[in-house]
Structure 1
Amino acid sequence: MDFRIISLPPFTAATSGPSPAFDFSPEGVLGRFNAYFSSIKPSPRDSFMPRDFLFFNREKNGLEWWYALEEGMPDGGYEKASFDGGLFLTYCYWDHDEEENRRLYQEAVEYIEGSGIFELDERPGHYSMGHIITPPEAIQALGKGMMEAFVPVKLKDI
């Protein structure tokens, strides 16, 4: 697989907080957070980049969703978190295909370890995360969406 390395800028995010139950129901932590940020329309300048990121927060033992805020954007009363940005290796797979995600993640880790250039950079607040890249109208037509995974890396001290 060919991976790409990208840079994400630092940002402040509204956070769902952890959901140990992974609850996406309309009343659940993640479902309510999805409704909050789905109602926000970013400015045209900021609409081309991913704004929401889903990850497993190891410290809090739950699935957590962040939404990158721009100045003046409503936080919905949600707690805010700071993200320091950095380099990420990315790959794509169909959302909910966890077997393919695990396979590609393992391949990504092997690539990182064998690169001689990069090392994994997972740490509190800086985990592997995902973002649905398929527009809602295409998900409706296809019946599924594509997930882009972001694996944090850093340059090795050589």
Structure 2
Amino acid sequence: MLLCGIINELRKSKDRSFLLSFFFCQATDSRINSATAVLRGLIYLLVAEQPSLMSHVRERYNHAGRELFEDVNAWVAVTEISINMLQDPGLKETYLIIDALDEYMTDKSSLVDLIGQQASVSSHVKWVVSSRNQPDLEESFTKANSKVKLYLELNPKIGV
């Protein structure tokens, strides 16, 4: 609910000169519980908000077609597309929000590593990620140069 509120406030912002892309993870739905699904969703919303970014998708899509997002190499493809988009010189200030990172199952460490790496690459791309306390996730974000942790539990050591 917290991230829903943040997204709503960002959407209502009077100075809407930034891009907003978000994804809500859900472990019980196999269509949206993988790293590939998360990036695919973020890419979709980025292109919807800044259509010029479609060139990064089109470049790969022209070679592979629909399978680009569905075959065994989909993770590699969406990773390359997202990195190219986030490094595009015309990219506006961008907020990427992922809710409930602890809820998805497939390739979690790959996504967390990518976020950690990309969080340090560009100062105009901000990642907001929510998760239950999980030491493996927290450890993976050590690569990010600037980060803020917010614990909402009364006692963060209990991991509720």
Q: TM-score, normalised by structure 2?
A: 0.25
**More RCO (CA 8 Å, sep 6+):** 1
**Higher relative strand content:** 1
Q: TM-score, normalised by structure 1?
A: 0.25
